[in-house]
Amino acid sequence: MALIGEGDEKRLVEELKKRFGCDYFSYSDVHIRAKLRRIYKDLEFDTFGRLLKHFEITGGYDVLMKFSQTYKEFFRDPVFLKQLRKKLKPLARNLPLIKIWVPECGDGMELLSLIILFIEAEVYDRIEIVASDINPFFLQKARLGIYPSDKLDKYRQNYEDAGGMADFMDYFTEKKNFIQANPSIMLRVTFIKHHMVDSLAFDKFHMIYFRNILLYYRSELRNTILNKLSQSLLSRGILCLGQKENTDNLTGIENFKRITGNERVFQKL
């Protein structure tokens, strides 16, 4: 069994910061420890010393990607997305430009799912999306829009369950072992490197899509992040959070109202 020693969480994020410039010090120790266990299991290591040797030999790119990777899939949580569909046309009404921010976009699967919703709401020509992440390698993956095709049946089913109005593959090209997003659906996206805690608010948006990310951060920083999200939203702007993210004790949540039944879609007051 892998042994996680005292301070190994800090040593891991220090190594990632030193080698890649990716600052994960804001993440909770619980989350970092869980990631470290997964890395040990996947790479068959049992001590941090062996992991450090791996960094020295290989550079550690695989460790960064394993640490950064969160559970993503196309049209993840289709019940939520089906509810969100109903809000897009009212959001877009009378707006010549709809500005959207997708922080911590990862490899781009949820970003592309959101874009498809806007296409099917017939407002794609009026959207402007900023997709950000701290990991530059994820930003590059999201730009390319290339994904393994082994879960294609699952993606199709999710799309249908989310109220899809066409065929999932209308938005992709299928190749031997992967699918690639059609370049035309990425034309309205700008990718930037951004840190949710340290970087300043940089614009005002009509929607921020920040699902299943807040829970990774240290509890004392969640209020800071919510405040930044609030600063970045226009009045009556939409904030999308994950179903498992408890907002009851967050300072500033009183400035929002929930606008869907059981889903965490909020509107700024």
Q: Give the CATH number of the domain where residue 247 resides.
A: 3.40.50.150
Are both 183 and 57 inside the same structural domain?
Answer: no
Q: Is residue 73 part of a domain?
A: no
Are both 100 and 23 inside the same structural domain?
Answer: no
3-state secondary structure of 182: coil
156 burial level (CB within 10 Å; 0-12, 13-18, 19+): middle
- The whole-number average pLDDT for the span 47-52 is 92
Are both 184 and 62 inside the same structural domain?
Answer: no
* pLDDT class of 89 with cuts at 50, 70, 90: confident
Query: How many domains does one find in the chain?
Result: 2
Taking 60 as the threshold, does the pLDDT of residue 165 lie above it? Answer: yes
Taking 60 as the threshold, does the pLDDT of residue 125 lie above it? Answer: yes
Q: Is residue 93 part of a domain?
A: yes
Could you list the residue range(s) of the whole structural domain that residue 45 is in?
A: 8-68
pLDDT of residue 219: 86
**What's the pLDDT tens digit per position in 176-210?**
899 999 999 999 999 999 998 888 788 999 999 99
Q: Is residue 200 part of a domain?
A: yes
pLDDT top residue among 95 and 5: 95
Alpha carbons 86 and 96: distance in angstroms, whole number:
19
Are both 120 and 200 inside the same structural domain?
Answer: yes
Q: Is residue 1 part of a domain?
A: no
Ordered DSSP codes for 62-110: HHHHHHH-----TT-SHHHHHHHHHHHHHHHTT-S-EEEEESS-TTSHH
* pLDDT class of 1 with cuts at 50, 70, 90: low
The sign of the CA dihedral 208, 202, 215, 43 is: positive
At which of 23, 40, 68 does a domain end? Answer: 68
- The whole-number average pLDDT for the span 19-43 is 92
Contacts 24+ apart (CB under 8 A), 144-147: 144/180, 145/108, 145/112, 145/180, 145/181, 145/183, 145/186, 146/178, 146/179, 146/180, 146/181, 147/74, 147/107, 147/109, 147/178, 147/179, 147/180
Q: Is residue 110 part of a domain?
A: yes
Are both 48 and 172 inside the same structural domain?
Answer: no
pLDDT top residue among 250 and 98: 98
Cβ burial 88-102 (10 Å sphere, 16+ → b, else e): beebbeeeeebbbbb
Q: Is residue 49 part of a domain?
A: yes
Q: Is residue 102 part of a domain?
A: yes
Taking 60 as the threshold, does the pLDDT of residue 19 lie above it? Answer: yes
Q: What is the pTM of this model?
A: 0.92
Are both 34 and 122 inside the same structural domain?
Answer: no
Are both 147 and 222 inside the same structural domain?
Answer: yes
pLDDT top residue among 100 and 94: 100
Q: Is residue 141 part of a domain?
A: yes
Are both 85 and 150 inside the same structural domain?
Answer: yes
pLDDT of residue 181: 98
Taking 80 as the threshold, does the pLDDT of residue 8 lie above it? Answer: yes
Are both 137 and 255 inside the same structural domain?
Answer: yes
- The whole-number average pLDDT for the span 95-119 is 96
- The whole-number average pLDDT for the span 142-166 is 96
CB 15 within 8 A of CB 60: yes
- The whole-number average pLDDT for the span 79-108 is 92
